[in-house]
Structures are given as structure tokens and as C-alpha cells.
């Protein structure tokens, strides 16, 4: 009987040791919980989810690798793929942060051209219509230009060049829209400034002739306003000379 109690005590002691050594994994095993997976298995699972469009599940899988196995050979790939999954999920701000964090942590990684390109695309996908502020357009343009400067011969630099032109066209269209807005409000000086900006900064984006036409119109209106102001000043002077105060 005493021997049986001794065996039970040894078993209990052994279980406690296992618990402290393996933590929750032992509890999961005892209770029939999820078996701990290797990073390779989680990576395969994440890639399958990514390919099948289950982006939320893919993000969770890649995040799990980053959290549980930060020093495994899959950790760096999981960082990029998590950013890709967020991008495909149209979570562009979160994706940008993930790509940006990757660039900071691995500045010399071979996939940096791709990462910079994707940072540009995160902004490019959020470009608003021409009647809205173009903050995302400018940010996308800056990322694409940075990519071209750093890796001019990379395939992603070629893609970036095409998108830079699209950004420039969009920015020119925005300036034209604002110029027309001021013109309709009869604020010809402000409108002229916008049209001149197009000629100076976006001369070959397709808005040149329209901008030149409105520059001419603005100058005519401003010249007419100036002439009317001078005529009005003359009338005031003339009427002022005939007042009783001026004759005393």
C-alpha cells in the first residue's frame, strides 16, 4: 500500500516538473487542446491562407511565427508575408507600418526594393479624387522616387517610374481643378498662381494647353480689374476736388 502511494507521489511530482518545463503545452495535451506546431507548419498554413484569400487567417499565422519563433529561419519571411496579407486585405495603413518596420529592421535585405515599392503602393491605393487633398499622392510619389534613386536598375524601379508619372498627372489635374475653382469664384490672382504652377512643375502631363489658355484669361481679367480700379480712383479724386472742403 505504501509502495502504491509512493508511485502516485512520483507521478504527481513528474507531472509538476513537466508543467514547469513546458507550461501551457502540457495543459493543452492533458485537456485535449491544440498541439504546438512547428514554425514550418505554421508558415505553410499561412501561405495556404494567403493564396486562398483568407487574409485575416494568414496575418494571424505569420504573426504567430513572429511572436513564438522570432529567431527561426521563417521569421523574416513571415514579416514580409504578414505585410502582404494586410495589403491584400486593403488595410493599407497597417500594411505600410509593417513594410516600414521591415525596412528598419532589415535595411540590407534583398527584398528591400519590393518593400519600398509596396510602401509606395500602400499610399497609391489610397489616392483620392482630384477634388480632395493629395497627401497620399505625394507620399506615393516620394516612395517611388526613393526606390528609383536607390535601385535604378531593379525591376520594381521600372514599375515605380510608371506610377510616378501617374502621380504627376493626378497632381497636375488637382492643380487644374483648384485653379478652375478660384477662377469661377473670380479670384483670378489665386487661379493664375495655380495655372502657373502647372506650367512650371507639370509641363508635359497633358494640362499645358488648358493651363495656358486660363493664364491668358486670368491676365485679361486682372488687367480689366486694374483698369477699373484706376478709373474708380480717378473718379474719386475728381469728385473730391469739387467738395466744399477742398475749396476752403
The per-residue pLDDT for range 53-107, each reduced to its tens digit, is 999 999 999 999 999 999 999 999 999 999 999 999 999 999 999 999 999 999 9
The per-residue pLDDT for range 25-52, each reduced to its tens digit, is 444 434 444 556 799 999 999 999 999 9
Proportion of the chain in helix, strand, coil states, percent, rounded to 5: 80, 0, 20
The per-residue pLDDT for range 143-195, each reduced to its tens digit, is 999 999 999 999 999 999 999 999 999 999 999 999 999 999 999 999 999 99
pTM: 0.77
CA atoms within 13 A on the CB side of 188: 13
- pLDDT confidence of residue 33: 44
User: In whole angstroms, what is the distance from residue 68 CA to residue 33 CA?
Assistant: 18
DSSP character for 139? H
Which pLDDT band holds residue 24 (cuts at 50, 70, 90)?
A: very low
| Residues 6+ positions from 110 with CB-CB distance below 8 Å | none
- Residue 155 Rama label (left phi>0; alpha psi -120 to 50; beta): alpha
User: In whole angstroms, what is the distance from residue 12 CA to residue 18 CA?
Assistant: 10
Question: Could you tell me which residue, 225 or 15, shows the higher pLDDT?
Answer: 225
Residue with cell 505504501: 2
| Residues 6+ positions from 183 with CB-CB distance below 8 Å | 191, 214, 217, 218
Residue boundaries of the structural domains of the chain: 37-90
Amino acid at each position: 500500500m505504501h509502495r502504491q502511494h509512493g508511485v502516485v507521489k512520483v507521478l504527481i511530482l513528474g507531472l509538476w516538473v513537466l508543467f514547469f518545463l513546458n507550461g501551457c503545452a502540457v495543459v493543452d495535451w492533458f485537456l485535449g487542446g491544440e498541439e504546438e506546431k512547428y514554425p514550418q507548419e505554421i508558415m505553410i498554413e499561412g501561405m495556404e491562407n494567403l493564396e486562398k484569400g483568407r487574409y485575416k487567417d494568414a496575418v494571424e499565422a505569420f504573426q504567430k511565427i513572429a511572436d513564438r519563433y522570432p529567431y527561426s529561419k521563417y521569421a523574416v519571411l513571415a514579416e514580409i508575408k504578414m505585410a502582404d496579407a494586410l495589403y491584400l486585405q486593403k488595410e493599407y495603413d497597417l500594411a505600410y507600418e509593417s513594410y516600414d518596420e521591415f525596412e528598419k529592421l532589415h535595411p540590407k535585405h534583398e527584398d528591400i526594393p519590393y518593400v519600398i515599392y509596396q510602401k509606395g503602393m500602400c499610399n497609391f491605393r489610397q489616392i483620392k479624387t482630384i477634388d480632395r487633398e493629395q497627401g497620399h499622392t505625394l507620399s506615393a510619389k516620394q516612395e517611388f522616387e526613393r526606390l528609383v534613386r536607390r535601385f535604378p536598375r531593379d525591376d520594381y524601379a521600372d514599375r515605380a517610374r510608371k506610377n510616378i508619372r501617374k502621380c504627376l498627372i493626378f497632381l497636375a489635374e488637382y492643380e487644374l481643378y483648384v485653379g478652375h475653382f478660384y477662377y469661377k469664384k473670380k479670384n483670378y490672382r489665386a487661379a493664375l498662381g495655380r495655372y502657373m504652377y502647372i506650367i512650371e512643375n507639370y509641363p508635359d502631363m497633358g494640362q499645358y494647353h488648358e493651363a495656358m489658355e486660363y493664364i491668358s484669361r486670368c491676365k485679361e481679367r486682372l488687367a480689366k480689374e486694374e483698369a477699373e480700379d484706376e478709373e474708380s480712383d480717378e473718379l474719386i479724386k475728381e469728385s473730391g476736388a469739387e467738395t466744399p472742403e477742398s475749396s476752403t
